[in-house]
Amino acid sequence: MTSGARPRILVVDDELLNVELMRAYLNNDYEVITAYNGKDALDKVKNEMPDLILLDVMMPDMDGYEVCRIIRHEYRIDFIPIIMITALTSKEDHQKGIEAGADEFLKKPVGKFELDKKISSLLRIKQQHDALLMDRNKAYDYLDYVGVLIAVLDQNYNLVHINKKGSDFLGYKKEKTLGKNWISSFVPENYSSQVRRTYDELLKGSIRMCEYHEYPLIISSGEERSFLWYDSLLKDDKGNFSGILISGEDVTERKKAEVQLHEYARQLERSNELKDLFTDIMRHDLLNPAGLIKSFSELLIEAEMDERKRSIIENISRSTSKLIDLIEGAAHLAKLESIEEIGFVRMDVASLLADSVDNFSIDMQSKGVNIDLLFEGAYPAVVNPMIERVFSNLVSNAVKYTADESLIKVRIDDAGDKWKISVADQGEGIPDKDKLAVFERFKRLHKDSVRGTGIGLAIVKRIIDLHNEQVGVLDNPEGQGSVFWLTLKKAE
């Protein structure tokens, strides 16, 4: 249904008088299309694409049930609302209609008031469905641009390689861009000093690789386009830094559409059903291609003998892993936010904590980090099994943010009718003004040194909220660092 156009309703009935009655009811508000048998109806559906169908059941050659079944199995027309109009009133007849795919039933003779009410309700649902599909298709189009600009800069920031999509973005043929200085040729003058300073410090090792940062490019038309960048250092055969691999995502249109997307997100929050559908799209339709990229890049790493090419592919693989983690985390958080109540069972939180620590043993070894488990025996609590995700996220954060060669302490304390669980690290700590913000989605304070999605602690907060318990963060009383704590109800 196009904006401003009247909804198109297909009336299917083999009786001319019935068709004319429906036309008289509907002509003022809708564009009416007519068909007098099943075959004619299917042709009209495919060619006219109506917004709703009023379908008689008892027709010669092909009855309404068969027409409905065929419509529901056609790819492009499976969501057109269908109202069956019938003199049949038995439960068996209605069940047959439901199995065929009908949305509503009206008994002959049909009253105008009841007909208007049914049509209005179903058209509103179809309008929401069409809007959701349109936004999903926009998301598919947007994915074509994620990370597609890939370029290699040498130590002087001259462009030594750019992929075809990257040159298409810039609007120049590839051979016209190679050898040019990236900053002076493509970065706007008011951003050039900032970008050069960032890359200088990156090559010198003064700062670690930024998670993401943003600066625009000037393309061949003179237009300034906004890009979100992820940078990786390249090394030569001797292990010295030889250049920078940059991958950029054009976010210009996304930024222009932010207001519309925020409004769309607000509407989604009104409907748990739509939120669940969006989450399923994100987990399946986005995760599948990301997983394929990850798998193929791993195969290429094994087969590639050129160290420089291998390094580029490894960076692509790491970036894809990051994208997969982000999709999974965002999907999990969306699911959690749609849940209002959870079930509880008796579980030993000491055993769960110990298992979570074991899962990060390799990460701890790589940083020289030790963990003290300051509890013994069993600590039964009334929890939902998703509490394991809480422990895993807290231990993961502690390992990420604590200093190398330091100590993490995990303890369980008796707090009356509750257990108080705490994880203390020796990292940089969190300023008082930011202690609440760390539990908000996409808030991450240590952007310069640690990679993360900003979702983990939001998941922790949501799960603890569903337990009707408390979670927070304090300064480490034993020195530098933070103590994340939470409470859980004891099991009797």
HEC secondary structure over 260-308: HHHHHHHHHHCCHHHHHHHHHHHHHHHHHHHHHHHHHHHHHHHHCCCHH
For residue 310, what are the contacts with CB-CB under 8 A and spacing of at least 6? 301, 304
For residue 24, tell me if it sits in a domain.
yes
Choose the weakest-confidence range: 153-157, 200-204, 217-221. Answer: 200-204
pLDDT of 268 > 60? The answer is no
For residue 1, tell me if it sits in a domain.
no
Q: Which domain does 310 fall in, by range?
A: 257-338
For residue 154, tell me if it sits in a domain.
yes
Confidence of residue 447 (pLDDT cuts 50, 70, 90): very low
Give the torsion sign (CA, 59, 61, 65, 67). Answer: negative
Tell me, yes or no, whether 294 and 192 share the same domain.
no
How many angstroms separate the CA atoms of 347 and 354, rounded? 13
Structure tokens at 153: 């800069």
Tell me, yes or no, whether 318 and 220 share the same domain.
no
pLDDT digits (tens, 9 = 90+) for 25-71: 999 999 999 999 999 999 999 888 899 999 999 888 899 899 998 88
For residue 3, tell me if it sits in a domain.
no
Q: 254 phi and psi, to 5 degrees?
A: -65, -40
Q: What is the pLDDT of residue 137?
A: 59
Residue type, 113: F
Tell me, yes or no, whether 247 and 281 share the same domain.
no
Q: What is the pLDDT of residue 181?
A: 95
Q: Is the separation of the CB atoms in 330 and 265 below 8 Å?
A: no
Q: Is the separation of the CB atoms in 389 and 459 below 8 Å?
A: yes
Predicted TM-score (pTM) of this structure: 0.39
pLDDT of 454 > 70? The answer is no
pLDDT of 274 > 80? The answer is no
Domain at 213, CATH number: 3.30.450.20
For residue 196, what are the contacts with CB-CB under 8 A and spacing of at least 6? 157, 183
Domain at 468, CATH number: 3.30.565.10
For residue 390, what are the contacts with CB-CB under 8 A and spacing of at least 6? 459, 460, 463, 464, 486
Cα torsion 338, 342, 348, 350 to 10°: value is 30
- E strands present in 4-69: 8-12, 31-35, 52-56
The domain boundary, picked from 142, 175, 198, lies at 142
pLDDT of 446 > 70? The answer is no
Cα torsion 212, 218, 221, 226 to 10°: value is 30
Mean per-residue pLDDT, 4-27: 90
How many angstroms separate the CA atoms of 424 and 481, rounded? 7
Q: What is the pLDDT of residue 451?
A: 40
Tell me, yes or no, whether 175 and 115 share the same domain.
no
Mean per-residue pLDDT, 221-234: 89
Expressed in angstroms, the distance from the first to the final Cα of the chain is: 59
Find, among 447, 400, 453, 455, the residue nearest to 423 by Cα: 400
Confidence of residue 180 (pLDDT cuts 50, 70, 90): very high
Structure tokens at 292: 């394929």
Mean per-residue pLDDT, 113-122: 90
pLDDT of 183 > 80? The answer is yes
Confidence of residue 272 (pLDDT cuts 50, 70, 90): low
Sheet with 104-107, side-by-side order of all strands:
31-35, 8-12, 52-56, 82-86, 104-107
Q: What is the pLDDT of residue 144?
A: 38
Tell me, yes or no, whether 200 and 304 share the same domain.
no
DSSP state of 208: P
For residue 17, tell me if it sits in a domain.
yes
In what helix (H) or strand (E) does residue 331 lie, and over which residues does it extend? helix 307-338
For residue 2, tell me if it sits in a domain.
no
Mean per-residue pLDDT, 233-242: 79
- Find the radius of gyration of the CA atoms of the chain: 30
How many angstroms separate the CA atoms of 169 and 428, rounded? 40
pLDDT of 367 > 50? The answer is yes
For residue 273, tell me if it sits in a domain.
yes
Tell me, yes or no, whether 349 and 482 share the same domain.
yes
Q: Across all residues in the chain, what is the average pLDDT?
A: 83
Q: What is the pLDDT of residue 196?
A: 93
Confidence of residue 412 (pLDDT cuts 50, 70, 90): very high
230 beta partners: 247
Q: What is the pLDDT of residue 3?
A: 54
For residue 400, tell me if it sits in a domain.
yes
Tell me, yes or no, whether 251 and 262 share the same domain.
no
Residue 62: burial class (beta carbons within 10 Å; 0-12, 13-18, 19+): middle
Q: Which residue has the higher pLDDT, 343 or 146?
A: 343
DSSP state of 76: G
463-468 CB contacts, 8 Å cutoff, 24+ apart: 463/336, 463/384, 463/386, 463/387, 463/389, 463/390, 464/390, 466/336, 466/339, 466/341, 466/342, 466/384, 466/386, 467/342, 467/344, 467/383, 467/384, 467/387
Percentage of residues in the chain having pLDDT higher than 90: 35
Total domains, the chain: 4
The domain boundary, picked from 256, 280, 313, lies at 256
pLDDT of 383 > 60? The answer is yes
Tell me, yes or no, whether 279 and 351 share the same domain.
no
Confidence of residue 293 (pLDDT cuts 50, 70, 90): confident
Q: Is the separation of the CB atoms in 400 and 452 below 8 Å?
A: yes
How many angstroms separate the CA atoms of 106 and 88, rounded? 10
Confidence of residue 249 (pLDDT cuts 50, 70, 90): confident
Tell me, yes or no, whether 228 and 328 share the same domain.
no
pLDDT of 188 > 50? The answer is yes
The domain boundary, picked from 226, 256, 286, lies at 256
Tell me, yes or no, whether 13 and 134 share the same domain.
yes
Q: Which residue has the higher pLDDT, 287 or 172?
A: 172
Tell me, yes or no, whether 13 and 86 share the same domain.
yes
Confidence of residue 287 (pLDDT cuts 50, 70, 90): low
Q: What is the pLDDT of residue 453?
A: 45
Tell me, yes or no, whether 378 and 325 share the same domain.
no
pLDDT digits (tens, 9 = 90+) for 64-88: 899 998 888 874 566 889 998 887 7
